[in-house]
Amino acid sequence: FVAQFTFSLTATSQFQTYPIYTKQGAAGGIFIMDSYKPYNNTLTSYEQKKLKEMYDAAEGEDKKILERILRKYGACKLEL
């Protein structure tokens, strides 16, 4: 079971979404997915949109490099 867990970071209604999963049993609990990297630099929505446009138009090695950048710094559920 994979879920999105949202909690308030401050009293000013700022929210952050974290990818989590649960596991039942003796070693169970709530865990953050390995793919979540909270300390990596991330792209803004605008940067991601522009890089995605460049990715769609690119070919060969350029497309591979743009894909790696988008996967490394883009949103968790980005579809290419």
Rg (CA), the chain: 16
**Confidence band of 6 (pLDDT split at 50, 70, 90):** low
Average pLDDT score, the chain: 78
Is it the case that residue 54 has pLDDT exceeding 90? Answer: yes
In terms of pLDDT, which residue wins out, 79 or 43?
Answer: 43
How far is 74 from 71, CA to CA, in rounded Å? 5
In terms of pLDDT, which residue wins out, 6 or 25?
Answer: 25
CB 78 within 8 A of CB 70: yes
